[in-house]
Amino acid sequence: MSIEIITTGDGSHSLLNTALNETYHSRHGAVQESLHVFIQEGLDRFLASGATTVAVLEIGFGTGLNALLTAQHTEEKGVTVHYTSLETAPLPEDLWVQLNYTTTPAAQTLFHAIHQAPWNQSVAVRPTFQLQKLTVSLQDATLPTAQTDVIYFDAFAPNKQPEMWTYDMLAKAVQTLRPGGMFVTYCAKGQLKRDLKALGLTVETLPGPPGKKEMVRGVRSV
């Protein structure tokens, strides 16, 4: 794997896939982007309904940053999470262990537990954080219908990995949503928005994280 650690604008690490010349997060700030797009505009928005349990489906486990932030955020709120994440290229330990996403021993223990959880099993990483990391592509995955509350669609960008953003792949993700469920992504391309609308979602273009103008949220009607 040709992957290098980079430092983004907010001081947090990301990874550069040198073969694709594509980073795993915004160069303006990895943690900043994850908090804004996935936690604030996805998870928190869903939890505003008063839910105490949430099922998350992530496309692209990557560094585990979204998983870590979700586990931390929900633990504070006393919310139970069922977190499923797809990944075709799990990172080796010597790489993820260097990432600077934790500042306390407790957070480091959690981050390590998330990474060390066995693949292709459902594991209670914490009493309120059930994690299922699957080494399968979105293309090959068999996904349940109408069981997800929030989709973190965090694939590499459409110009780098167009096969992730086709109508059929979006449909495959969207059909997992329960009524009231949400699809969030950092991408705000017109074709994506048109496809999500065609798939029956109510689509909003929202302000993006610092350095990125827009992001997208699609909600399945109740």
Ligand X SMILES: C[S@@+](CC[C@H](N)C(=O)[O-])C[C@H]1O[C@@H](n2cnc3c(N)ncnc32)[C@H](O)[C@@H]1O
Interacting residues with ligand X (CB under 6 A): 24, 34, 58-60, 62-63, 65-66, 86-89, 137-139, 154-156, 164
The CB-of-136 to ligand X minimum distance in angstroms stands at 7
Q: Tell me the closest approach of the beta carbon of residue 89 to ligand X, in angstroms.
A: 4
183, β-bridge pairs: 151, 218
Q: In angstroms, give the least distance from the CB of 121 to ligand X.
A: 18
Find the shortest distance in angstroms from Cβ 50 to ligand X.
27
Name the residue among 30, 32, 34 with its Cα closest to residue 13.
30
What are the φ and ψ backbone dihedral angles of 120, each rounded to 5 degrees? 65, 30
Q: Which is nearer to ligand X, 180 or 210 (CB)?
A: 210
Nearer to ligand X, 49 or 139 (CB): 139
Closest to 133 measured CA to CA, from 150, 116, 149: 116
Smaller CB separation from ligand X, 137 or 166:
137
Strands (E), 173-213: 177-185, 201-207
Q: Which is nearer to ligand X, 26 or 201 (CB)?
A: 26
Give the sign of the dihedral formed by CA 118, CA 141, CA 160, CA 218: negative
Q: Pull the structure tokens for residue 155.
A: 């694939």
Q: Is residue 127 exposed (0-12), middle (13-18) or buried (19+ Cβ within 10 Å)?
A: exposed
24 vs 183 by CB, closer to ligand X? 24
Q: Least distance to ligand X from the beta carbon of 176, Å? A: 14
